[in-house]
Amino acid sequence: MTFGVLAAAAASSSATDNVTPGVLGFLVVAAMGVALVFLLRSMNKQFRKITPEAEGTKGTDEAKPGQHGGGSGGSSPPSQHEIPKQDTPA
């Protein structure tokens, strides 16, 4: 049954129903290209702001108590030394 409906729909369509992207499709693709260029420029600007770690200090970064050790400033869980001991009533 479904195949019969699809075959009838295909037979009834004429060659004048061709759909082309036209000017609107070109404008959408061009706008996406322009947005991509600006996003890539912004990303490169942000990457230039990042300072790479020196080769000699890699792996030998020791954090002072109260500070997170090394890294790029991201959020990381505190180490055991930074967790204050809580007094429990006996």
- Domain limits of the chain? 21-49
DSSP string for 43-90? HHHHHHHPPPPPGGGTT---PPTTS--SSSS---PPPGGGSPPPP---
pLDDT score at 1: 62
**Helix intervals (H) in 1-90:** 2-12, 22-49
Q: Compute and round to an integer the Cα radius of gyration of the chain.
A: 31
Confidence band, pLDDT 50/70/90 cuts, at residue 18: confident
DSSP state of 74: -
How many whole angstroms separate alpha carbon 61 and alpha carbon 26? 53
Confidence band, pLDDT 50/70/90 cuts, at residue 85: low
